[in-house]
Chain A
Amino acid sequence: MNNIVKNITTSHKSTIAAPKRSLGSWIMYALLFGWAGIQIFPIYWLMTFSLKSNSEIFGGNPLGLPKVWMWVNYSKALVTGKVGLYFINSIIVTGATIFITAIAALMATYALTRMNFKLRKPLTTFYVLGLTVPIHSALLPVFVMLRNLRMTNSYQALILPYVAFAIPMAFMIFSGFMASLPRELEEAACLDGCSIYGVFFRIIAPLMKPAVATVSIFTFLQAWNELMFAVVFISDTKYKTLTVGIQSLAGQYTIDWGAIGAGLVVATIPTLLVYIFMSKKVQDSLVAGAVKG
C-alpha cells in the first residue's frame, strides 16, 4: 500500500515542470532552507533558553546551546510555578473534550446520515451551523449561565463549551466518512438479530476508527490551545489549564526567563510529540477540517 502511494507521488513529481537545476535552483533551495529556519528558529531558541540561567540568556550566550544545563528551571516551573498542576488540568479537560465530542458526534452522525425521520434535513443544517458561529458570541451568555449555576471554576465549565464548538466539525468529518461505509454490513447484522444499538456500537463505531483519529487530533489541538473561554471561566488556580496558567506564570516570574521558557516547553511538548509521531495524520486532519468546513 505504501509503495503504491509512493509510486503515485513520485510519478506525479516527475511530471510537473520543475525549475531547472541551475543557479535558480540553488537560490530556491537557499530560500526554502532559510524559510525553514525562520519557522523553527523561535522554537529552537525557546528550547535552549528554557535550560539556561539568566546570565547566559541576557549576557554571553543568547543563541547557542546552554553551557550549564539548568534543569532546575523545569522543577521551578513545574512545582513552584504550578505548571505541573496546569498540565494535569489541561490533560483532564482536553481528554474529556475529545472523548465526549467523539461519542456525541458519532451518535448524531449515525442518526443524521443513516436513519430516516422527518426533521433530518433541518437538523443537519442545525449541526453544520455551528461552524460559522464565532466563539465570541457564546462567551458572555455561557459565563452568565455558569455563574448562575455556580459552575465557573470547574472542569465542566471548559469541557462543555469545547465540546459544543468541536461537534459541528466532528459531524462534518464523520458524515463524509460514514457515507463511504457500505450498508450491507448493518443489514446482515440486523438479520442476525442485532439491535440498532448493537449495530451502532459493535459495527459502526469500530469501523469509524480512522475518522475518530482525525477528529481527535483536531479536537485536541483546539482544546489544548484555547485561551478565551479559559481566561474568562477560570480564575481559581486549582482549575487553570496551561494557556491561562502560562499567563500567570509569566506574570509571576517576569524576569526569570528560564522558568517561563520551561513552562512554555512543557505546554508545547504534548503537541510536538503528537506531531512528530503522526505528522501526516495531523496535517491530514487539519486539511480535512478546512476543506469540509
Chain B
Amino acid sequence: MERVWKDKKAILFFLFPSFIILTFIIIVPIIMSSYYSLLKWDGFGQGTFVGMNNYIKLFKDEAFIKSVKNTLVFALTSVFIQLPISLLLALVISTGVKFERFFVTVFFIPVIISTVVIGQLWMKIYHPEIGILNMFLRSSGLDNLTREWLGSKDTALMASVVPVLWQYIGYHMLLMYAGIKSISADIYEAAKIDGASWLKTSAYITIPMLKPILKVSLTFAVVGALKVFDLVFVLTRGGPGRASEVTSTLMVETIFKSNSYGYGSAMAVFIIIECVVLYMLIGKLIKTDEVT
C-alpha cells in the first residue's frame, strides 16, 4: 500500500487539474496585479513603468480616501451593530425557546438570497415616491422624515449599510448558535445547580466559551466589509457623488470606466494587503487556544 501511495504518476494525475486552475486564476493574477500597479496603462498597447507613483497618488486621492472611510463604516457598523444583535439572538434562541428551529431557519433566509436580488428589493423599499419606507412614514404622519434615501448625500451610505447588516445578521447568529450548541451540557447543569441566571450564564460561561466562534464572526464581519461590492454596486454605484463609494466599487470604476488599469490595480493590491493585515491583526488580538 505504501508503494501505491507513493505512485508519482498518480499524484500528478490527482493534483494536476486543481493545481493548474489555482495557479492561473489565483497566484498568477496576484503577481500580475502587483506588476500592473507599477504601470500607467490604459489597457491597450504597452504601459509605461511609473514605479510607486500609483501608490503615492492613492493617498492623495480624495475619492480613494473617501472610499476607504466608507468601507470602514461598513466594517464598524458590522462589528458594533450586527454582531451584538446576532449574539443576542443566538443566546436567546439557544436557551430552548419554543419554535427554536423555526427561528433559526427564518433568520437565516436572507443569507442565501443573492445580494443582487436583495439590492433590487431594497431599492424598491427606498424608492422616494412609491417605496414602502416613505409610504409608511407618510401614513404615520412623519412626512418630514421622508427623503430620497439613496439619492441624497446624507443618507446614501447608511441606506446601503442597512441591507448588508440586515442580510447577514442571520449568518453570524447561526455561527454563534452552532457554537453555543456545541458547549457541553454538563457545564450548564453545574451553573443551574449554582442558581445562575440566564444573564449570568451567558456572561460568565457562554460568551467566554464562544470566543473561537466570535473570532471567526469578527474576522468575517471585518474582512467581508472590506470586500463589500455587490450591494453598493446595485443600490448606488457609489453615488451620489462619492457618498457611498467603497474601495471595490471605486476599483471597478477606475479600471473599467476610466480605463486606468495601473491605478486600479494599485487599489486591488491595497485591498489584498488590507485583508491580509486585518486577518493577522484579529488573529493576534484575540488569542484562542483552539487550533482551527
Give a binary string over A116-160; 1 marks a CB under 8 Å from any B CB, 0 the rest.
Answer: 110000010011011011111111111011000000000000001
Roughly how many angstroms separate A26 CA and B257 CA in the complex, as a whole number?
Answer: 54
Closest Cβ neighbor of B170 among chain A residues: A39
Q: Determine if B89 and A35 form an interchain contact, defined as CB atoms under 8 angstroms apart.
A: yes
A65-73, A207-215, A223-231: which lies at the interface: A223-231
The answer to whether B17 and A19 have CB atoms under 8 Å apart is no
The reply to whether B97 and A28 contact each other, CB–CB distance below 8 Å, is yes
* Size category of the binding interface on chain B: 35 or more
Asked if A275 meets B116 with Cβ closer than 8 Å, knowing A12-B181, A108-B19, A290-B216, the reply is no
- Chain B residues within an 8 Å CB radius of A134: 223, 226-227, 271-272, 275
Which residue on chain A has the smallest CB distance to residue B6? Answer: A116
Determine whether the beta carbon of A268 is less than 8 Å from that of B117: yes
Q: Name the residue of chain A whose CB is nearest to the CB of B174.
A: A283
Contact B26 A165 (CB under 8 A): yes
Interface centre among B18, B100, B220, B272 (most CB of A within 10 A): B18
B56 interface residue per 8 A CB criterion: no
Q: Mark A234-275, 1 if CB is under 8 A from B, else 0.
A: 000000001100110010000001001000100110011011
Q: A-side binding surface: helix, strand, loop or mixed? A: helix
CB contacts (< 8 Å) of B33 on chain A: these are 137-138, 140-141
**Complex-state Cα separation, A190 to B99, whole angstroms:** 50
Q: Are A291 and B10 in contact (CB under 8 A)?
A: no
Q: Which residue of chain A has its CB nearest to the CB of B184?
A: A12
Q: Flag if B107 contacts A130 (CB, 8 Å).
A: no
CA A282 to CA B171, docked complex, whole Å: 11
B265, closest chain A residue (CB): A140
State in angstroms the CA–CA spacing of A274 and B102 once bound together. Answer: 17
Distance from A106 Cβ to chain B, minimum over Cβ atoms (Å): 9
CB <8 Å contact, A19 and B95: yes
- The answer, yes or no, to whether B29 is at the interface (CB within 8 Å) is yes
- Scan residues 251-269 of chain B and give those whose CB is less than 8 A from a CB of chain A: 251-252, 255-256, 261, 264-265, 268-269
A17 to B24, CA, bound (A): 54
Q: Which of A3-40 contact B (CB under 8 A)?
A: 9, 11-19, 28-29, 32, 35-36, 38-40
Given the interface pairs A136-B268, A139-B252, A200-B14, the reply to whether A114 lies near B19 with Cβ below 8 Å is no
Give every chain A residue within 8 A of B130 (Cβ-Cβ). Answer: 57-58, 62
Pair B22/A190 contact, Cβ less than 8 Å:
no
* Complex CA distance for A123 and B178, rounded to whole angstroms: 31
Q: Which of B60-68, B72-80, B150-158, B185-193 contacts A (4 or more CB under 8 A)?
A: B185-193
Q: How far is the CB of B122 from chain A (nearest CB, A)?
A: 7
Contact with A along B82-118 (1 / 0, CB 8 A): 0000000100111111111011111111111111111
Alpha-carbon distance A49/B92, docked complex (angstroms): 34
Contact of B124 with A by CB under 8 A: yes
Q: Which residues of chain B in 7-62 are interfacial with respect to chain A, using CB atoms and an 8 Å cutoff?
A: 7-8, 10-11, 13-15, 17-19, 21-22, 24-30, 32-33, 36, 43
A93 contacts the other chain (CB 8 A): no
Query: How far is B242's CA from A188's CA once the two chains are assembled, in angstroms?
Result: 65
Q: Are B21 and A267 neighbours in the complex by a CB distance under 8 Å?
A: no
- Kindly provide the distance from the CB of A140 to the nearest chain B CB, expressed in whole angstroms: 5
Also in contact, A228 and B252, with CB within 8 A (given A39-B107, A132-B275, A137-B268): yes
Is B137 an interface residue, CB under 8 A from the partner? no
Kindly name the residue among B112, B115, B264 whose own CB sees the greatest number of chain A CB atoms within 10 A: B112
Q: Which of A165, A228, A232 counts the most chain B CB atoms within 10 A?
A: A228
- Per the bound structure, the CA–CA distance linking A100 and B120 in Å amounts to 31
A43 surroundings in chain B (CB, below 8 A) = 109-110, 113, 121
Asked if A96 CB lies within 8 Å of chain B CBs, one says: no
Residue A88 at the B interface, CB < 8 A? no
Q: Evaluate contact between B292 and A105: CB separation under 8 angstroms.
A: no
The answer to whether B166 touches A38 (Cβ under 8 A) is yes
With A62-B130, A141-B29 already in contact, 13 other A-B pairs whose C-beta atoms are closer than 8 Å: A15-B185, A19-B198, A63-B132, A136-B227, A136-B272, A137-B33, A138-B29, A138-B30, A140-B33, A142-B29, A167-B18, A250-B120, A290-B216
Cross-chain pairs A/B with CB under 8 angstroms, 14 sampled:
A15-B192, A16-B198, A17-B197, A40-B109, A100-B17, A108-B15, A115-B10, A123-B19, A137-B269, A142-B25, A196-B7, A228-B233, A242-B114, A267-B116
By Cβ-Cβ distance, the 10 closest A-B pairs, closest first, are A13-B96, A141-B29, A164-B25, A111-B14, A141-B32, A225-B114, A104-B18, A107-B14, A108-B18, A138-B29
Residues of B within 8 A of A (CB): 1-2, 4-8, 10-11, 13-15, 17-19, 21-22, 24-30, 32-33, 36, 43, 89, 92-100, 102-118, 120-125, 130, 132, 135, 166, 169-171, 174-175, 178, 181, 185, 188-189, 191-192, 196-198, 201, 213, 216, 220, 223, 226-227, 229-230, 233-234, 248, 251-252, 255-256, 261, 264-265, 268-269, 271-272, 275-276, 279, 292
